[in-house]
Amino acid sequence: MPPVPRSFAASISWPAGYAGRVAEALDHALAEVPAYRGWRALDPGPDVPVFERLARFPALTKDDLRDHGPDGFLPSSRALHEGIAQGEIELVQTSGTTSEQVTNTWHQPWWDASERASWRLNSHAAAADLGSHREAILTSPRSTGFACEEGTLPMAQRIHGRFLYLTERTDAGAWTPALMDRMLRELAEFAPTALEANPSFLARLARHVLATGARPRPPELVVLTYENPSAAQRAIIRRAFAAPVASSYGSTEAGYVFMECERGRMHQVTDCCHVDFLPFARRFGGPLLGRLLVSTLDNPWRALVRFDIGDVARLAEAGPGEPAGTRCPCGRIGGIVLEGIEGRASGITLGAHGGPVTPADVDRALAAVPGLVNHRLRQDGPGSVHIAYVLDAAAGPTRGTDRAVRAVLRRLYGRSCAIEAREVPALPPEPSGKYLRAAPTFAVDVDSFLDDAYRPPSAARGG
């Protein structure tokens, strides 16, 4: 018999009543929701504390979501076609290639509640009185449905209710100065309270602002989402826009999961989700580094339990004698506190001794290279990486950058790693519309980095 997996949740302080809500969500899923029928035999029963119960179940993958379909996650008391007919839900498909796409049941009131809960975790968002505010959105038109690669879409056609979509062009590297000037004019005219942006897109606009000396009308809050911002992107966005910047983390499947507070740490949105943190083994960066499984709370149309959201995170370090992942200088207590998101698990490359190098490790290393504003690193196998990077034209002379890039990457990947580096004028997005700054081109078994004591049963090895 394999040992019973441990739960990291025991070391976290949770809000009052939270464990009961998680138990209710789990009991509901096991009793009512078809996708979890096969899990019932694994349940040690309600006498076992809920976080220990949860640890006995496998992770729910995107393949599971596709295999069961939207019906599989619907309680037996509800019917999909009725929900659609009554306007309670709609079906939405996530972006990506066909094999990556998932059809999600979208229940707007739950999504809105999850977003509102996230705002309470940042004092600037809380003060901005968000909810019926005007919002400008700068992200890939592939995610917003406003794509137009030839000609232009007039502003009126890109306004939808209280939202203005700032671009119809997918490739931020190919934006013209005229298009970016138009974005700045529209920001002044539309006067949004919040600007929600993909950091790769907003960093491109920020470079234009700094290069031209434009003075954009600042929103009350810039929310970075869709992708994990790099240190270099954050720095350039802060220089260009005189507004507080907060990173918001979640997914179409799981809603809002973490929100960055005004002190720069990420707080779990405990109103709407539970997070299981699966730490890596100590030699692979654990227990601070680990994977995230998300269980949704109180969504009447969709029950997700231990959904593998596909990212790696780093817990906030704590003082002596305190458990990691619990404290922030802002003083908010309750739920998991992260130092930050480390990037997609599928973006993990291998370091000198076969350990994980996260996309954020690469971002942090390259932040030390002056003028480097964007990069695309690929690893074809252990012991070799190649990188294309973009330099800020306004940053001045950049002789020796190749050497600097190689030096910082050698520290990450080891002295014997073959590093090919080249400067390029711009980098195109991936077919999904997003930018993938680091990734292996071969299979890396990220589960092999997990601490065995916390390994979910589906990832158990050797029986």
List 221, 261, 292, 417, residue binding Zn ion (CB under 5 A): 261
Mark the segment that binds Zn ion (CB under 5 A) among 99-107, 154-162, 260-268, 296-304. Answer: 260-268
Nearer to Zn ion (CB atom), residue 74 or residue 257? 257
Would you count residue 259 as binding Zn ion (CB under 5 A)? no
Closer to Zn ion by CB, 78 or 332: give it: 332
Beta carbon of residue 297, minimum distance to Zn ion (angstroms, whole number) = 21
Q: Torsion over CA of 50, 56, 59 and 60, rounded to 10 degrees?
A: -70
Task: Name, in order, each residue with C-beta under 8 angstroms of 349's C-beta and a sequence gap of 6 or more.
Answer: 356, 357, 362, 377, 379, 385, 413, 438, 439, 440, 444
**Should residue 26 be labelled a site residue for Zn ion when binding is judged by CB under 5 A?**
no
375 near Zn ion, judged by CB under 5 A? no
Q: How far is the CB of 337 from Zn ion (least distance, A)?
A: 7
Q: Give least dist CB 299 to Zn ion, A.
A: 26
Instruction: Mark 275-310 as b/e (b = at least 16 C-beta within 10 Å).
Output: bbbbbbbeebbbbbbbbbbbbbbebbbbbbbbbbbb
Residue placing its CB nearer to Zn ion in the complex, 80 or 333? 333
Tokens of 107: 């229940």
Instruction: Label residue 334 left, alpha or beta by phi (over 0 means left) and psi (-120 to 50 means alpha).
Output: left
Q: DSSP letters along 335-372, please?
A: S-EEEEEEEEGGG-EE-TTS-EE-HHHHHHHHTTSTTE
The one among 160, 263, 282, 461 contacting Zn ion by CB under 5 A: 263
Cis preceding linkage at 287, omega within 30: yes
**Least Å distance between CB 259 and Zn ion?**
9
Is residue 407 part of the contact set for Zn ion (CB under 5 A)? no
Cβ neighbours around 327 below 10 Å, total? 18
Smallest distance from Zn ion to CB 54, Å: 25
Q: Is 215 among the residues that bind Zn ion (CB under 5 A)?
A: no
Could you say which residues in the range 270-329 bind Zn ion, by CB under 5 A?
328
Query: According to CB under 5 A, which one of 53, 107, 207, 265 is a site residue for Zn ion?
Result: 265
Residues contacting Zn ion: total by CB under 5 A: 5
Burial of 21 (0-12, 13-18, 19+ CB in 10 A): middle
| CA dist., res. 31 & res. 41, Å (int) | 12
Using CB under 5 A, pick the residue from 330, 352, 395, 460 that binds Zn ion.
330
For residue 113, the minimal CB distance to Zn ion (Å) is 21
**Shorter beta-carbon distance to Zn ion: residue 262 or 430:** 262
Binding window for Zn ion (CB under 5 A); candidates: 47-55, 253-261, 311-319, 345-353? 253-261
Count of CB atoms within 10 A of residue 76's CB?
Answer: 9
Residue (155 or 330) nearer to Zn ion, CB = 330
The pattern of x and - marking residues 127 through 166 that bind Zn ion according to CB under 5 A reads: ----------------------------------------
CB of 327 to Zn ion, least distance (A): 9
Nearest distance in Å: CB 298, Zn ion: 24
Q: How far is the CB of 246 from Zn ion (least distance, A)?
A: 11
Q: How far is CA 318 from CA 133, 285, 315, 329, in A?
A: 36, 16, 9, 10
Task: Give burial (CB, 10 Å; 0-12/13-18/19+) of 41.
Answer: exposed
Question: 240-259 burial string, b = 16+ CB within 10 Å, else e?
Answer: bbebbbbbbbbbebbbbbbb
Give the binding range for Zn ion (CB under 5 A) out of 189-197, 261-269, 286-294, 389-397.
261-269
* Interacting residues toward Zn ion by CB under 5 A: 261, 263, 265, 328, 330
